[in-house]
Amino acid sequence: MEEIASSTKKRKLAYVGFTILIVLLLDQWLKYYIKTTFTLGESRMMINNWFELHFTENPGMAFGLELGGSWGKIVLTSFRIIASGIIFIYIKNLIQEGAKTAMIVLVSLILAGALGNIIDSLFYGRIFSESTYHTLATLFPENGGYATFFRGKVVDMLYFPLLDTFWPDWIPYFGGSRLQFFRPVFNIADAAISVGVFTIIAFRKKLIPTPA
């Protein structure tokens, strides 16, 4: 029985590592591609205009939101690092307690997403040149990066305007103005966090056993 339990724990730990590795590889590859082939603010429609790659950077939170100032950036990055440590410990406890594999994988998605944006915050300012509206960024520029350690900007690029139209003219105040639904620009790391969180909330009764 102990051998079976040990094998199960190793298998679940492997799922954790695989989930984190895949998310980080996809997230960092896409960020590198965007950073080195798009100028800041550049957009390209993809897959029959189904969605848009729109290069933007933010010094703050997910989905293009910001936490003001340089110190806000340092505080947010520090919080992400601490939160990631707590999530990692939580995953270890889930494995020890025999939690469902689906639950472990979903929490691993959240951890992977946090780590993906931490990498941007910690290292991108050191290893990339500044992205501008006219020039592409380069990796490991001769004159050094655009910011110090901890102050890198998070790269966002995924834009899904599910509704992009105009308000009818007869509507007071808004009439004639542009109407867009789901305007935030995000990245794969943000998506991993959102999928993990919302799936756990939606299926919490199945994923988290109720104590007898």
* 190 catalytic residue (yes or no): yes
Beta strands per DSSP E along 1-64: 43-46, 51-58
Q: Measuring CA to CA, which residue among 23, 114, 30, 31 is closest to residue 77?
A: 114
Q: Are the beta carbons of 186 and 156 closer than 8 angstroms?
A: yes
Which residue is catalytic, options 27, 120, 156, 169? 156
Beta strands per DSSP E along the chain: 43-46, 51-58, 154-159, 163-166, 178-181, 185-186
Residue 119 C-alpha from the chain's centroid: 11
Q: Where would I find the H helices in 38-152?
A: 69-96, 101-119, 125-127
Q: Exposed, middle or buried, 130 (CB in 10 Å: 0-12/13-18/19+)?
A: middle
Q: How many CB atoms lie within 10 A of CB 111?
A: 24
Which residue is catalytic, options 120, 164, 169, 190? 190
* 27 catalytic residue (yes or no): no
Residues catalogued as catalytic: 156, 190
